[in-house]
């Protein structure tokens, strides 16, 4: 069941949605959500449960990884995308926060789904932070309406960091706004360094928005 981690008493300035990896659930992203809630008290923060019970035996998932290959992964992500986007829009409705002020933070399979929203015809979020994730297939169109930040452990043996490096390079060539952080001696996990990099990136984006408005 999805968890509302923080609901501001006044109008929310932004919506932060957290998406876990396969075999996990909303509770697994709660520590990250609480840290972001503390750093951004005006944010509406939700940890979202995967749409389906995991077929690995525990937790939940957005798509099955049983027998997954490079060839069939894109179709599985595509089939899961309408439900994923519907979940984002549901929480936008609850929080009364629009697309531009929505941030998707995904880990592993949650990051795959969040990244792939930027490849759809219509963006559902103004920002995406992908932790230990990858695109289902190399990004094709530029993510012109979404800022992206990729965070990856250099020692990740589940989804190697090369996927983040390749995606960032390709997105830059396509004209997307993308940044990346590689974390030394980190595997397929989230640690305190990842939390701090996320907060740093969010604050950098906020400063950029302020500078842009002042220059208009």
- The catalytic residues are 108, 156, 188
Strands 43-48 and 14-19: parallel
User: Between the CA atoms of 201, 141, 97 and 189, what dihedral angle is there, to the nearest 10 degrees?
Assistant: -40
Q: How many CB atoms lie within 10 A of CB 68?
A: 13
Q: How far is CA 4 from CA 30, 46, 99, 187, in A?
A: 9, 4, 19, 28
């Amino acid at each position: 069941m999805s968890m509302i981690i923080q609901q501001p008493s006044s109008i929310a300035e932004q919506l932060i949605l957290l998406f876990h990896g396969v075999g996990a659930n909303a509770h697994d992203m709660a520590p990250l959500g609480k840290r972001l809630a503390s750093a951004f008290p005006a944010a509406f923060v939700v940890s979202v449960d995967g749409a389906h019970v995991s077929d690995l035996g525990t937790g939940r998932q957005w798509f099955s990884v049983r027998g997954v290959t490079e060839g069939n992964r894109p179709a599985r992500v595509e089939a899961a995308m309408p439900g994923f986007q519907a979940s984002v829009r549901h929480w936008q409705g609850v929080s009364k926060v629009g697309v531009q002020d929505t941030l998707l933070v995904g880990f592993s399979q949650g990051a795959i789904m969040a990244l792939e929203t930027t490849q759809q015809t219509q963006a559902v979020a103004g920002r995406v932070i992908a932790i230990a994730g990858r695109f289902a297939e190399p990004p094709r169109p530029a993510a012109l309406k979404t800022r992206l930040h990729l965070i990856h452990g250099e020692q990740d043996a589940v989804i190697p960091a090369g996927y983040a490096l390749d995606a960032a390079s390709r997105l830059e060539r396509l004209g997307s706004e993308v940044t990346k952080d590689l974390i030394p001696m980190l595997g397929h996990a989230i640690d305190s360094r990842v939390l701090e990099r996320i907060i740093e990136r969010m604050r950098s984006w906020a400063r950029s928005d302020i500078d842009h408005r002042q220059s208009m």
